[in-house]
Amino acid sequence: MARLATVDEHGRPHIIPIVYAFDGARLFTPIDNKPKRASPHQLKRVRNIQTNPHVAVIIDHYDEDWRKLAWVQLRGQATLIESGPDYVTGIALLEARYPQYATMSLAGRPLIVIKVDHTTSWRAW
């Protein structure tokens, strides 16, 4: 499970669950066709990134056996892209990771790209 944290112009946090693909340096998360309350550019996460590009993502593994708990936190700068080589890479990585995108096209949909500059992790074992 992954969650994206952004901050608005007043310093108020906004955290949402996301799907993602990671290439070792950048994390890609789409603005896909799942139902949304606003157009892609009006979503709170997008507006926050335009105001303050500093973001964090936490990816965690939960298990009833707490000896198996683990998480990783990625921090970096986010941008919204809609074309170019990074866009092509991100779409390909997301489509390879999530079979659901075989029937829900990402083509023409914006991607959030996070250039990771700090990583922290923890695990119980």
pLDDT at 5 over 90: yes
- Domains of the chain by residue range: 2-123
Predicted confidence band at 107 (pLDDT cuts at 50, 70, 90)?
confident
What confidence tens digit (pLDDT) does each residue in 13-44 have? 999 999 999 999 999 999 977 656 767 777 89
Mean pLDDT of 76-99: 96
How would you write the chain as a 3-class SS string?
A: CEEEEEECCCCCEEEEEECCEECCCEEEEECCCCCCCCCHHHCHHHHHHHHCCEEEEEEEECCCCHHHCEEEEEEEEEEEECCCHHHHHHHHHHHHHCHHHHCCCCCCCCEEEEEEEEEEEEECC
Mean pLDDT, all residues of the chain: 93
Q: Which CATH architecture has domain 2-123?
A: Roll (2.30)
Q: pTM here?
A: 0.91
